[in-house]
Amino acid sequence: MRKQIAAANWKMNLTLQQGEKLLDDIIVLPHQLNEYQQAIFAVPFPYLIMAQHKIEGKKNVFIAAQNCYNKKSGAYTGETSVEMLLSIGVHHVVLGHSERREYFNESNQLLAEKVNICLENNVTPIFCCGEALSVREANAQNEFVAKQLQESLFHLSAEQIQKVVIAYEPIWAIGTGKTATSAQAQEIHQFIRSQFANKYGATIADNISILYGGSVKANNAKELFSQTDVDGGLVGGASLNAEEFNTIINSLK
């Protein structure tokens, strides 16, 4: 069975002390991850070392950075390299979140370069894709998402693509309180998987985890995750509450 993942994206929230408490509160709550389930915490850069220490020795629990740069090293003030992340034991990175695309103008080509440098260094990219409300209203979401995948990922080999986690995020459902219905989520996830099947074959496509990332909460996670092609969630606001995120972890199939 492909990996089922509950990924927390803290975004630019919490102080160090609040982040420590949140992780402490989640760690002590009852959840049992089996061999194909994972919990991942994408925390702000200043908290990566703290978070890495907190989860040390925990099975199938990982820390992720929320971004990385597309160069190995150099005169890039304010940026963080994959090599730096590896040096503190971080092996997961969220790439291409809609906020990075919108506020920082990250292009599909730039994201392809970031994906490359991650895979070259054995770091797992959690690659985000998804459409805005105007695209959804025009019923053009399939073409839009397909282009994101094609321009950022389809240069990868069959071996490489299986090391990427996909997070589909309907931008119109992030922080708005709106959520795609479970049927809508399944429909677009199935479409995304079909794109990988067309490019790499059905066997490889069936091994790629595709997460849903639009206002996942404790009260809708189980229904969303029960869909055939939904393999967990990339969770924003609800991941800042220990009990709620624990319920989401326990909703993995």
- 2-25: b (≥16 Cβ within 10 Å) or e: bbbbbbbbbbeebeeeebbebbee
Structure tokens at 81: 């390299």
From the list 97, 106, 131, 244, the catalytic residue is 97
- Side chain identity at residue 27, one-letter code: I
From the list 106, 131, 169, 244, the catalytic residue is 169
169 is catalytic: yes
DSSP label at residue 196: H
Contacts of 123 (CB under 8 A, 6+ apart): 68, 82, 85, 86, 90, 91, 92, 93
Q: Are 154 and 160 in contact (CB under 8 A)?
A: no
Catalytic center residues: 97, 169
